[in-house]
């Protein structure tokens, strides 16, 4: 499948592709949390690009970072120290967990990037939070206009909303193909497709996605049948873990990941009078990450997915030191188990070596489900 190969390439060759894009005189801004309203950057003709880590050990970051922190954050910082993000014109992060907030200091002091911005994301979606966040986005828009000397009109915001929504709808269609048994696309392929969407100009990505959706029904190498699983967790910027799951007889058919369904599940209301207002609402009302107050909404999302995708078991992969997830995980686990679903809880570290122990536990879990079924 050509489209799939190309999407994969967008992911693995991202730094080179972006350097090319920069040569055309365009700006690139890295964003660190899925609560960054990319539409606003896009409307300023900036390429918003997700900051991701690398599967290598974070050697350089070691001198600055303690052991007791999120290894994903550490890895992202390491990539920056290596100079792989030297093309960035800006770095935008948001209040979305203690790890990320504190890493903002290290980025500002140790990585040379011309523009830094921190968006104050509220932790709830009450009316007061909505009002505050709208104003916060007005401030963000003004800051970008000044720094990049481009006006950001409502019209360009509306266009960005349209383009972003289109991509979201296409990704949902792709996810629909996972409802079949066996699914038409593997968990690894789905994850890589979402990841590539975070790195590519959205029109380019949507074009490839459309092609992919056409190609898939005729694919001659569909995934094999396996235990239908949902993967829940924080961030996964590498398909390594899913590969292990799928190599041991699991079939990842749904997810609750910030680099998966949580990234694109909700659209912006395209009919709203103020596009900025609609954007602000979308980000606070979306399927939340656990630093937000409405954990119930996320749990409901997981339950809905379990039904929609005929899920037989859930693996909760929590990244060590990711506090918001660590607090939510026992609650989510209990809730799913009380509805009769087998749940496996695993802690992992980014770029970890020695997957053997994880593999053994996953195997045992799948055995158990098969035995029951």
Tell me which residues in 69-98 interact with ligand SF4 (CB under 6 A). 70, 72-73, 97
Q: Does 99 bind ligand SF4 (CB under 6 A)?
A: yes
At residue 208's C-alpha, the angle toward residues 206 and 211, to 5°, is 110
The minimum distance between CB 99 and another protein, in angstroms, equals 5
Helices 187-197 and 202-215 sit at what angle, rounded to 10 degrees?
160
The minimum distance between CB 294 and another protein, in angstroms, equals 10
Among residues 327, 359, 356, the alpha carbon closest in space to that of 344 is found at 359
Give the C-alpha separation, 366 to 245, whole Å: 9
Among residues 279, 234, 241, the alpha carbon closest in space to that of 259 is found at 234
User: What's the order of all strands across the beta sheet hosting 27-31?
Assistant: 46-50, 27-31, 90-94, 116-119
Give the C-alpha separation, 325 to 333, whole Å: 12
Among 165, 234, 248, 259, binds ligand SF4 (CB under 6 A): 234
Are the beta carbons of 222 and 153 closer than 8 angstroms? no
Bridge-partner residues for 233, per DSSP?
317
Q: Which residues bind another protein (CB under 8 A)?
A: 63-66, 68-70, 95, 97-99, 101-106, 108-110, 118, 120, 122-124, 128-129, 132, 135, 290-291, 293, 295, 318, 320-321, 323-324, 326-331, 333-334, 345, 347
The minimum distance between CB 198 and another protein, in angstroms, equals 23
Looking at the chain, the number of H-run helices and the number of E-run strands are: 15, 8
Are the beta carbons of 239 and 279 closer than 8 angstroms? no
The minimum distance between CB 73 and ligand SF4, in angstroms, equals 5
Among 239, 319, 343, 358, binds ligand SF4 (CB under 6 A): 319
Q: How many residues of this chain interact with ligand SF4, rule: CB under 6 A?
A: 12
Among 58, 79, 80, 235, binds ligand SF4 (CB under 6 A): 235
308 versus 320: smaller Cβ distance to another protein: 320
Give just the sign of the alpha carbon dihedral 308, 309, 310, 313.
negative
Are the beta carbons of 195 and 237 closer than 8 angstroms? yes
Q: Does 34 bind ligand SF4 (CB under 6 A)?
A: no
100 versus 168: smaller Cβ distance to another protein: 100
The minimum distance between CB 238 and ligand SF4, in angstroms, equals 13
Which residues, 6+ apart, have CB-to-CB distance to 253 below 8 Å? 178, 179, 183, 187, 228, 229, 230, 309, 310, 311
Give the C-alpha separation, 35 to 241, whole Å: 24
The minimum distance between CB 142 and ligand SF4, in angstroms, equals 27
Residue 5 touches which member of another protein, ligand SF4, none, C-beta under 5-8 Å by kind: none
Residue 310 touches which member of another protein, ligand SF4, none, C-beta under 5-8 Å by kind: none
Q: How far is CA 337 from CA 281, 325, 367, in A?
A: 32, 17, 17
Residue 234 touches which member of another protein, ligand SF4, none, C-beta under 5-8 Å by kind: ligand SF4
The minimum distance between CB 44 and another protein, in angstroms, equals 20
235 versus 366: smaller Cβ distance to ligand SF4: 235
The minimum distance between CB 108 and ligand SF4, in angstroms, equals 17
99 versus 261: smaller Cβ distance to ligand SF4: 99
73 versus 278: smaller Cβ distance to ligand SF4: 73
Q: Does 100 bind ligand SF4 (CB under 6 A)?
A: yes
Residue 72 touches which member of another protein, ligand SF4, none, C-beta under 5-8 Å by kind: ligand SF4
The minimum distance between CB 322 and another protein, in angstroms, equals 9
Helices 2-12 and 187-197 sit at what angle, rounded to 10 degrees?
60
DSSP 61: G
Binding site residues, ligand SF4, CB under 6 A: 70, 72-73, 97, 99-100, 234-235, 319, 322, 324-325
């Amino acid at each position: 499948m050509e489209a799939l190969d190309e999407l994969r390439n967008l992911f693995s060759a991202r730094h080179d592709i972006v350097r090319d894009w920069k040569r055309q005189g365009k700006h690139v801004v890295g964003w660190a949390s899925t609560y960054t309203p990319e539409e606003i950057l896009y409307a300023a003709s900036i390429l918003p690009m997700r900051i991701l880590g690398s599967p290598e050990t974070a050697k350089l970051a070691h001198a600055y970072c303690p052991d007791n922190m999120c290894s994903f954050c550490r890895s992202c910082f390491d990539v920056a120290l290596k100079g792989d993000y030297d093309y960035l014109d800006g770095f935008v992060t948001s209040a979305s967990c203690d790890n990320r907030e504190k890493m903002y200091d290290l980025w500002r002091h140790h990585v040379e990037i011309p523009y830094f911005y921190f968006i104050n994301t509220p932790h709830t979606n009450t009316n007061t939070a909505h009002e505050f966040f709208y104003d916060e986005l007005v401030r963000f828009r003004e800051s970008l206009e000044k720094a990049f000397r481009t006006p950001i009109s409502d019209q360009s915001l509306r266009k960005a909303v349209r383009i972003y929504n289109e991509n979201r709808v296409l990704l949902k269609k792709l996810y629909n193909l996972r409802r079949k048994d066996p699914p038409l696309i593997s968990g690894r392929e789905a994850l890589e497709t979402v990841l590539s969407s975070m790195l590519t100009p959205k029109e380019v990505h949507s074009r490839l996605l459309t092609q992919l959706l056409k190609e898939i029904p005729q694919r001659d190498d569909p995934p094999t049948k396996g235990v239908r699983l949902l993967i829940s967790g924080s961030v996964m910027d590498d398909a390594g873990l899913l590969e292990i799951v799928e190599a041991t007889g699991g079939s990842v058919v749904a997810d609750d990941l910030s680099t998966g369904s949580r990234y694109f599940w909700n659209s912006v209301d395209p009919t709203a009078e103020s596009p900025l207002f609609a954007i602000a609402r979308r980000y606070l009302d979306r399927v939340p990450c656990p630093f937000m107050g409405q954990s119930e909404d996320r749990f409901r999302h997981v339950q809905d997915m379990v039904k929609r995708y005929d899920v037989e078991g859930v693996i909760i992969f929590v990244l060590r030191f990711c506090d918001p997830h660590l607090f939510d995980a026992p609650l989510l686990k209990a809730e799913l188990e009380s509805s009769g679903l087998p749940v496996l809880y695993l802690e992992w570290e980014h770029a970890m070596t020695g997957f053997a122990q994880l593999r053994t536990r996953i195997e045992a879990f799948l055995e158990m489900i098969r035995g029951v079924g």
